[in-house]
Amino acid sequence: MLKAVVYLVAPIMLIALFLYVRRRSHFTKYLLFVLPFLVAALSVWLLADDLVFHRYGPKDAEGLRTWAIIAAVGAIALVCAPRMTNRYAVCGQAVVAFLFADIWVLGATWIA
């Protein structure tokens, strides 16, 4: 369940929220809106070394290094920063943001 939230739900929700805020507000207001999300990702990294999805022994475990959460949120914020007016461009922007976030998260996944 936690794995689905990290890989799918959280990036999709952040992308939708960031694109909505960026479409409705100026760039400085968007940056001020994104800042608490980056601070929250930084605090997750500082407070926890790894997120462990499951652990059934020393040779059967899976998790995620938490530094990737900062990179994923930052990638989503950067890709969503330009304001697009064409709906196809906005869809492409959302897909690119999702791919960048998942590349960061999948790159930091570990299996023992």
pLDDT tens for the chain, residues 1 to 112 = 667 777 889 899 999 999 999 999 999 999 999 999 999 999 999 998 787 776 777 777 777 888 889 999 999 999 999 999 899 999 999 999 999 999 998 888 877 6
Alpha-carbon span 101 to 37, nearest angstrom = 14
Instruction: Please tell me the predicted confidence (pLDDT) of residue 112.
Output: 64
Three-state SS string over 66-91 comes to CHHHHHHHHHHHHHHCCCCCCHHHHH
Instruction: Please tell me the predicted confidence (pLDDT) of residue 1.
Output: 64
First-last CA distance in the chain: 19
Instruction: Please tell me the predicted confidence (pLDDT) of residue 52.
Output: 75
Structure tokens at 107: 């790159």
DSSP-based three-state secondary structure for 61: strand
Q: Which of 59, 95, 70 is nearest to 80 (CA)?
A: 95
**What is the longest distance spanned by two Cα atoms in the chain?**
51
- What is the domain extent for residue 55? 2-111
Q: Count structural domains, the chain.
A: 1
Query: What is the reported pTM?
Result: 0.86
